Amino acid sequence: MGAAVPAHAQQWIEARSTQYSVFYQEANRQDVEKVRAWLDIAEQTMSQKYGVTRTGWQLSVYLHPAPTSRASVSTAAVTTNNTAKTAVLDYLAPSAIEWANGGTSSLGLPKNDDYHAKVIVHEYVTLGHQTVQQQASRGAGWSYYSAPSWFVQGLQEYDGLFHSTVANRSAALDAIRRWAGANRDGFACCQTLGDQQRIFVDDIYNGGLLFHTFLVSRFGDDIQRRLLLSAESTLYSALARETNSSVSELFSRFREWFQTFCATCSGAITLTTSATINAGASAGSATVNWTASSSWTGSTSAEWLTWPLSSGGTGTWGRSLTWTANTGTSPRTAVLTLSGGGASVTVTVVQSGTSP
């Protein structure tokens, strides 16, 4: 039986499937088949990856024709009723004009149909994650939402990105590397809370996604299902058993993997002009261009080399680096350093001396 339509939504049109319904306005009819296809992909992921063919939940997806407090280019809201096993997803219809200026995701990917597919799968597949544990004959065991947020949101992000569209799968690793290069310091271990050591992740979405990428890379495609099925009392106990590592050992393995995975990461600051400037003895200047995916600071190593900005934010930048005349006969060298996201780049100015 389809989900009941709330009183405020009686004017909406319903497209019903066995486990979900899509509610839409006539102006957004073109979105319905795409959204249903993405929901079906989520169900395929639940079945093929986790062995869940029916969640027992009924999902209602509302495609809002215009932004609301619960549905915009930056917001998608989910409400669940665990007793009735119903869930409501409010989402801005993919054909809404606001998406034309929606920008990019936190991974730097465009907010196009592949982005919509990722979000829809992300929000739906979590019902499958919970159902894996509910249907398992495992007796006692840790519960899904008792796990740290980085694990829960990271798993949803992983399935949303790697199990939605071909384009998302193709772009995933490069996008994650770009993010990782700008967020090298967003992970910590191993403070003890209660009787267990814990791993801390600053960005529960992208940081959690990166940690799940590590888990799959090192422990196999089925590691996430094995963790969900574990009869251990906590996630950390399940991680210890399934990876044969203590929490501190697992974090060390993650750090080692990170160094290899991120060997080609460009970092938060990427120069788009030369990293070396060869200057004559006269005073002069050169333009330095760069892109930043995090906030940054800038400084020079000598008073004769002047930089106009001490800090800035994300975006594409260009400024003049200036130097005074070298009145000495010996060449001299100074460095501009731009730092952000736990990494830095340098521009070296080598200035010749004045001829005797």
- 177 and 77 share one domain: no
- 130 and 146 share one domain: no
Number of helices (H), then strands (E), in the chain: 8, 17
**299, burial (CB in 10 Å: exposed 0-12, middle 13-18, buried 19+):** middle
pLDDT for the residue numbered 212: 98
Question: Which of residues 204, 230, 265 is at a domain's end?
Answer: 265
- 150 and 26 share one domain: no
Domain count, the chain: 3
- 145 and 215 share one domain: yes
| 229-251 as b/e: b if 16+ CB within 10 A | bbebebbbbbbbebbebebeebb
Place of tokens 């992909």: 41
pLDDT for the residue numbered 330: 92
- 164 and 285 share one domain: no
Whether residue 191 lies inside any domain: the answer is yes
Q: pLDDT below 50 — which residues of the chain?
A: 1-9
Question: Which of residues 239, 265, 291 is at a domain's end?
Answer: 265
pLDDT for the residue numbered 284: 96
211 φψ region: left (φ > 0), alpha (ψ -120 to 50), beta (else): alpha
CATH of the domain at 342: 2.60.40.10
Contact 230, 238 (CB under 8 A): yes
Whether residue 343 lies inside any domain: the answer is yes
Contact 268, 181 (CB under 8 A): yes
Question: Sheet holding 343-351: strands in order across?
Answer: 276-279, 343-351, 332-340, 296-300, 311-312
Query: Kindly report the CA angle at 200 between 199 and 204, in degrees rounded to 5?
Result: 120
- 102 and 147 share one domain: no
State the DSSP string of 155-212: HHHHHHHHTS-HHHHHHHHHHHHHHHHH-TT-EEEEEEETTEEEEEESSTTHHHHHHH
Q: How many CB atoms lie within 10 A of CB 25?
A: 16
- 121 and 184 share one domain: no
- 20 and 42 share one domain: yes
Whether residue 72 lies inside any domain: the answer is yes
Instruction: Give whole-number Cα distances, 68 to 64, 73, 86, 97, 175, in Å.
Output: 8, 10, 21, 14, 29
Whether residue 356 lies inside any domain: the answer is no
Identify the bridge partners of residue 299 per DSSP, sorted by sequence position: 337
- CA proximity to 253, closest of 199, 331, 315: 199
- 34 and 78 share one domain: yes
Q: What single letter denotes the amino acid at residue 252?
A: S
pLDDT for the residue numbered 2: 44
Whether residue 120 lies inside any domain: the answer is yes
pTM over 0.85: no
Whether residue 174 lies inside any domain: the answer is yes
Question: Which of residues 195, 230, 265 is at a domain's end?
Answer: 265
Residue 305 lies in domain: 269-351
Indicate the helix (H) or strand (E) that contains 133. Answer: helix 113-135
The DSSP bridge pattern shows strands 332-340 and 296-300 to be antiparallel
- 156 and 261 share one domain: yes
pLDDT for the residue numbered 140: 76
- 239 and 120 share one domain: no
- CA proximity to 179, closest of 144, 211, 135, 217: 211
Contact 14, 5 (CB under 8 A): yes
- 194 and 257 share one domain: yes
